[in-house]
Homo-oligomer: A and B are copies of this chain.
């Protein structure tokens, strides 16, 4: 059986991918990161969510992104921007952007994949919906795939490592529609960048607005609680 590594964050995107690849012929290895993110309560949600799926192994890696700072997700002194509606979301790179985060995440996933002998890595990045993160674009994913095949013993020895970003050209509404068809229980997910200590979403940050808009466009209530 082929092995796949999937990066899971507890949010809508990676949770939907996990449901998608359940139907495929993979032994699934999940990987998550505790980077002392402001919203690290997402790690509890992930552990709850994945119980509904067949996963061979789930690793939570502790990594240090705090010592760099530079993002409102890793520096408590930088506030998470709040918006009164989704129409206010800007098209520039937001302060919630964590420099090189996806590159660091994918690098770990690559090391994990090499050790377990997996050639397929799945990541829930998305290029649409005002995300504006440079490391969520198709050309970035393609470039990392090229790197992966040069970086590893597996690549050198002629195996082909693939980085799959199946949601990259989908809107949040399309992703949620796909997940609902697959029976994803979104009540066990969280998207908020600035949740309360017990995991109640703020409803006002970039991530909350995108999520709420995605549910609204499906004429479905978002099953999680907001402040």
Question: CB within 8 Å of B: which residues of A?
Answer: 59, 61-65, 67-70, 93, 97-104, 106-108, 110-112, 114-115, 134-135, 137, 139-140, 143-144, 146-148, 150-153, 155-156
Contacts and interface: CB of A to CB of B under 8 A. Distances in A.
This chain: copies in complex: 2
A93 B63 contact: no
A63 B65 contact: no
A167 to B, nearest CB: 19
Given A146-B143, A147-B147, A99 B111 contact: yes
B69 A115 contact: yes
Contacts of A104: 104, 107-108, 111
B140 A70 contact: no
Nearest to A135: B151
B107 A103 contact: yes
